[in-house]
Amino acid sequence: MAAVPKSITRLIDLLKRLPGIGPRSAERLTYHLLRMQKEDVLQLADALIAIKEEVKTCRECYNFADTELCPICSDTSRTHLQIMVVEEPLDVTALEKTMRFKGVYHVLGGVIDPIAGIGTDEIRINELVERIKKARLNDSSGDLEVIIATNPSTEGEMTAVIIRKILRKEFGEELNITRIARGLPVGGDVDYADPITLMRSLEGRTKY
């Protein structure tokens, strides 16, 4: 790209670092930005700076927030006796779109991955234990439920199993621990499904 200005090649190289953006997509985005009005580009730049300077993690669930507590944790209409454990803030966004869950979340910040050197201390399992202890103090009904909603990947399943073992050791069988069901997608064939999907579809089966 010798004939291309350095500022253009620099932006293309930076955009290529984003997930799902290959060289061609990075080029298209760069040249699209060049065609945009300067005011629109400056607004985009301001928004990028703002998310780094203004966005923090919720002190309760570790989701992204611009205040000490995220809107979910501060919502008095939601029950704190249902804690759904997810891998990343993006999972919270996806689950909230269903508009079915009325509890709160706990964002682990990743999954256990021994190959990558990520163990139990590198994700927020200890924080989860402390949060459950706190919730149990306010639970006179015994209805506290911990819902494990990690992804059905090898690392996600390993993380779910380890979390369950830790919670059982800490709180015993009286703590209600559940795992979200993983069924076959609409239009999916059983013979094309992977073993984990089939296992979850059986575990989550209902009376028919």
Question: What is the DSSP annotation of 25-66?
Answer: HHHHHHHHHHHS-HHHHHHHHHHHHHHHHT-EE-TTT--EES
pLDDT reported for residue 203 = 67
How far, in Å, CA of 54 to CA of 49, rounded? 8
pLDDT reported for residue 108 = 97
Name all domains of the chain by residue range, CATH numbers in brackets. Answer: 6-54 (1.10.8.420), 76-203 (3.40.1360.10)
Contacts of 59 (CB under 8 A, 6+ apart): 68, 69
* pTM, rounded to two decimals: 0.80
pLDDT reported for residue 208 = 44
Which of 118, 76, 84 is closest to 100 using CA atoms? 84
How far, in Å, CA of 162 to CA of 141, rounded? 27
| Two structure tokens written together for 119 | 């163990």
Looking at residues 74-82, what average pLDDT do you find? 94
Helix (H, G, I), strand (E, B), or coil: what is residue 145? Answer: strand
Positive or negative, the Cα torsion across 67, 149, 132, 74? positive
Phi, psi of 171 (to 5 degrees): -120, -10
Contacts of 198 (CB under 8 A, 6+ apart): 184, 190
**Tens digits of per-residue pLDDT, 101-150?**
899 999 999 999 999 999 999 999 999 999 999 998 877 777 899 999 89
**Tens digits of per-residue pLDDT, 42-61?**
999 999 999 999 999 999 99
- Of all residues in the chain, the percent with pLDDT exceeding 90 is 69
Instruction: State yes or no: pLDDT of 76 exceeds 70.
Output: yes
Beta strands in the chain (DSSP E): 56-57, 64-65, 82-86, 104-107, 145-148, 176-179
Question: Is 145:82 a contact under the CB 8 Å cutoff?
Answer: yes
| Two structure tokens written together for 136 | 């149990």
C-alpha torsion angle, residues 188, 191, 194, 195 (rounded to 10): 130
Instruction: State yes or no: pLDDT of 188 exceeds 70.
Output: no
pLDDT reported for residue 146 = 94
Q: How far apart are the first and last CA of the chain?
A: 62
pLDDT reported for residue 202 = 61
